[in-house]
Structure 1
């Protein structure tokens, strides 16, 4: 499992420390670099008016910094809070040369955080990782309406859709997302042992590659520590954004 604290220990890039006082409303300035909570807690406000608590080692705007977008969220410090600031140029430089696994996770995490869909196939991931590692990957097939996993199931793999499509379902039965050939899901297995946040069901006859997190972690560790920081930060941010958007199904 990838741990952001251990990655941070290895990063020598110059970092700034920002202090936010208890009760202070914090709007991330356009000029800010990528921000990560070092100590403390902040309450995030989303467009749907739901809130989510961000805690130590949670990223505030690394996704926006990498994607050159304005901040989606506003924050209020619940206690005195320290933030680590990383240069946006440094983050984007390392992302631009990330390996196929890291690049794929970054791409799809950003797509889901900002709720955009990239129609391009991920040839880099397929050619440089999947096709070279077929012997150690587990290929699985599912029929129409077959359950891939249920909410709460133990999570130790990410899935890549080779053919077919998959829908993600909340406990209420609400469809949260539909994913198609060339997309990944289940990446949160890389950063926590909390179990699956939702169920995944095959919409049609579907072939998947189940990629164990140990294999993924080994591949991601080939990239720079800054690139690894971005990968973990985006996965954590996606997890937090899902909780904000699916607030009727999750508690903070």
Structure 2
């Protein structure tokens, strides 16, 4: 997905198998979790390659076709992290911010050709991403807060319900959709009170999230970072990981 030539081959194979492209949905993500002090340039490069450049290459492969045929859809699945920069997820937010900006600009640029672009910004998702996310610094503590918040009912959205909402937004031709009440709330607060939001994020980073240390800039997967966190605490998101073959 991060190599333009391979994306071109994949689109060509899909076109041979299924015919002309009617809908393109860009949905890919990598997550590095940890303090900014432990992040390095390759972390940001990988995020941009996956979240922005992969979508950019896929869109460029289908854009001439969908413009010629008109009334076609492009959906870019970003994140609430592309609307509000969340501490300890900096590379992820940088990549998703790039995708949100590109997607929003693309919509206005191709609308006259009958192509509708929709930007999706889900909040916390129960998809099992905690298993393969990469954790830095005090990786067991980082894993604990990330896995717990991603699995709490009310805070997180299931993959199935998100998929239904995404397809509905695509069919309607929405410009943007933020998924989940907590995500809608934080995006609204950021828009209305940017200084307050920045201060709250700084307080969260300093007092509520783990400090640097541990394994430092090295990485450990979620499967390697469970530590003493009881399985019952992540039961819902573990179930989602098994269902999605994470």
TM range (shorter): under 0.3
TM-score normalised by L of structure 1? 0.25
TM-score normalised by L of structure 2? 0.25
Q: Which has the higher strand share?
A: 1
